[in-house]
Amino acid sequence: MARLIVLLWNIWNWCNKFVHEGEVQEDREVIIAAWNIYFDFFEINGRTAHYKVKSFRLRIWTKPLDGVIKINVDGAYSSTAKFVSLGVVARNSYGLVLGGLCRRILHPCNTEVAEVEAVTRGLKFAIDNGWDNVIIEGDAITIVNKIVNWKDDVSIIGLLRNETHGMLSSNEGFKLFYVNRKANKTAHSLAQ
């Protein structure tokens, strides 16, 4: 029953986005998002879902549709060394790697800055390469939600999120989604 409720809630959410914002989503994206929310809920609350997470297909990286570039991003913060490391990898609909980057940043940081900076670098990577139909995936659900559901914020981290949201909203073919870390392994490895 819980799976059905999560799926219906997600369909209702995407219908509202279509009606109020004119945003059209692929059916596949709605279902993947619903299953990821469902399984993440059970993982966070220490319960086991009806299906084993390890064997569930939506926990692995999936190819984008034809003509779409998928960019996975991740950021990591080392509190001992006081630096941020970023990982970005771009792939096409065949799963072929088109490019990527690893960076270390030494300015004052925390984990939230690392994740926002990773999304920003992923967006810049897409813009620099001239791609106009792009899915950005990151495994930091709070950062993805704060960027997608943007509210003006004058804090330091808010200013970074404002810049990232501006880049995302000024490129109509760009979409940002949360994805489970298991589906974001390559970017996560690059960021370590």
Q: Residue 59: its pLDDT value, please? A: 65
Q: Residue 56: its pLDDT value, please? A: 35
Q: Residue 50: its pLDDT value, please? A: 43
Q: Residue 70: its pLDDT value, please? A: 94
Residue showing tokens 């298991």:
182
Residue showing tokens 């704060």:
146
Q: Residue 179: its pLDDT value, please? A: 84
Domain with CATH 3.30.420.10 in the chain: 64-192
CB 52 within 8 A of CB 61: no
Q: Distance of CA 34 to CAs 156, 169, 171, Å? A: 32, 23, 25
Q: Residue 163: its pLDDT value, please? A: 77
For domain 64-192, the CATH superfamily is: Ribonuclease H-like superfamily/Ribonuclease H (3.30.420.10)
Q: Vertex 90, ends 187 and 83: CA angle to 5°?
A: 35
pTM for the full model?
Answer: 0.66
Q: Identify the helix (H) or strand (E) that includes residue 77.
A: strand 69-78
User: 82 CB contacts (<8 Å, ≥6 apart)?
Assistant: 106, 109
Q: Residue 128: its pLDDT value, please? A: 93
Torsions phi, psi of 129, nearest 5?
Answer: -90, 0
Count of H-run helices and E-run strands, the chain = 6, 5
Query: Measured between alpha carbons, how far is 53 from 11 in angstroms, rounded to an integer?
Result: 22
Q: Residue 53: its pLDDT value, please? A: 32
pLDDT along the chain (192 residues), means of 10: 70 74 67 68 57 43 88 82 83 91 76 83 92 89 78 68 78 85 75 73
